[in-house]
């Protein structure tokens, strides 16, 4: 808690208590979303007390504060993955800080492998639910000031926000898929047998992020909205490739950005 508050106090001092309403975690290749923000402050992670520093290719590492329309937002450009060697507490530390800054919503985005065979590369999938195959970030003593010992995970990805996204996508002619995101540790892409297994247990897409951040946001009562860019199709013969994942992420990122921007404007 002390570490969280130290980071919160630092951010508030630098941003004159900007008090963002919506936080957005930008996934692989989706950094371009930041161009939609009328930027007020940009803080490198390295300046924030107790913040881990990002290492993976394609992840910059800063918090961007600004406005989209009349909504005050903060974007996390660069996130922390368990496969990089961070602890689950480190992976989710930024979400604790964002929640303590008083956000009303957390938007998460990621690149993922399609399990559902009706998905195509470049599709956007609204995350309707998840299956967690990573260590749970809430393991350990619970701090009741942050949230309950046994948090409820119904409506984990807020239905009201998802419905609004569906309406906006219809208007903007953006094709959407819907499905269950399976969160794995990585860093290996899945074997064919693992893909078949994830399909059997009810997964539609698989990736190496998002679930820990969502769990921590829900622990603190913050509604979550998540979108996954399908960058490859696991049950086809194609191999997983980080560069291709980044390319597909960037291409679909434009559509996702449009959806996020319009949705953020209409949340209030």
Binding site for ligand HPA (CB under 6 A): 111-113, 189-190, 206-208, 231-232, 234, 240, 245
* Closer by beta carbon to ligand HPA, 20 or else 203: 203
For the record, the structure tokens of 29 come out as 């290749």
Q: Which is nearer to ligand HPA, 6 or 244 (CB)?
A: 244
Closest distance between ligand HPA and the C-beta of residue 91, in Å? 15
Q: If 0-12 CB within 10 Å is exposed, 13-18 middle and 19+ buried, where does residue 83 land? A: middle
- Contact between 20 and 73 under an 8 Å Cβ cutoff? The reply is yes
Nearer to ligand HPA, 9 or 238 (CB): 238
Q: How far apart are CA 214 and CA 267, in angstroms?
A: 19
The residue at minimum Cβ distance from ligand HPA is 113
The smaller minimum CB distance to ligand HPA, of residues 49 and 240, is found at 240
Q: Is 106 left (phi over 0), alpha (psi -120 to 50) or beta?
A: beta
User: What are phi and psi for residue 265, nearest 5 degrees?
Assistant: -60, -30
> Which among 71, 144, 78 has a CA at the least distance from the CA of 109?
78
**φ/ψ bin of 14: left (φ > 0), alpha (ψ from -120 to 50), beta (otherwise):** alpha
> If we measure between CA atoms, which residue out of 161, 171, 243, 248 comes closest to residue 205?
248
Helix extents (H) in 201-241: 211-219
Q: Rounded to the nearest whole angstrom, what is the least distance from the CB of residue 262 to ligand HPA in the complex?
A: 25
Residue 107 Cβ, how far from ligand HPA at the closest point, in Å?
A: 18
Q: Name the residue nearer to ligand HPA (CB basis): 97 or 245.
A: 245
For the bound state, the minimum distance from the C-beta of residue 200 to ligand HPA, rounded and expressed in Å, comes to 16
The residue among 108, 216, 209, 218 whose CA lies nearest residue 153 is 218
Crossing angle of the two packed helices 88-100 and 2-14, in degrees rounded to 10: 50
Taking the least distance from each CB to ligand HPA, the nearer of 143 and 192 is 192
In angstroms, what is the minimal distance from the CB of 203 to ligand HPA?
11
Q: How far is the CB of 6 from ligand HPA (least distance, A)?
A: 33
Using the minimum distance from each CB to ligand HPA, give the nearer residue, 208 or 211: 208
Minimum CB separation of residue 66 from ligand HPA in Å reads 28
């Amino acid at each position: 808690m002390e570490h969280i508050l130290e980071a919160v106090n630092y951010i508030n001092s630098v941003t004159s208590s900007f008090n963002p309403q919506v936080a957005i975690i930008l996934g692989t290749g989706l950094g371009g979303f930041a161009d939609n923000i009328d930027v007020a402050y940009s803080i490198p992670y390295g300046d924030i007390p107790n913040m881990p520093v990002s290492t993976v290719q394609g992840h910059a590492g800063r918090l961007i504060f600004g406005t989209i329309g009349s909504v005050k937002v903060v974007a996390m450009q660069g996130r922390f993955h368990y496969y990089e060697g961070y602890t689950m507490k480190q992976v989710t530390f930024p979400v604790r800080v964002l929640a303590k800054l008083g956000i009303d919503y957390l938007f998460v985005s990621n690149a993922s492998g399609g399990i559902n065979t009706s998905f195509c590369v470049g599709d956007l999938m609204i995350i309707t639910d998840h299956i967690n195959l990573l260590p749970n970030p809430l393991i350990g003593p619970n701090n009741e000031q942050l949230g309950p010992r046994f948090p409820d995970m119904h409506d984990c990805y807020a239905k009201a926000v998802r419905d609004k996204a569906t309406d906006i996508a219809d208007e903007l002619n953006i094709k959407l898929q819907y499905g269950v995101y399976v969160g794995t540790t990585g860093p290996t892409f899945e074997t064919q047998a693992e893909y078949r297994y994830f399909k059997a247990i009810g997964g539609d897409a698989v990736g190496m992020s998002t679930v820990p951040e969502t769990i921590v946001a829900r622990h603190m009562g913050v509604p979550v909205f998540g979108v996954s860019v399908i960058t490859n199709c696991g049950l086809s013969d194609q191999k997983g490739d980080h560069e291709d994942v980044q390319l597909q992420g960037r291409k679909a990122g434009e559509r996702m950005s449009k959806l996020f921007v319009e949705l953020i404007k209409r949340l209030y």
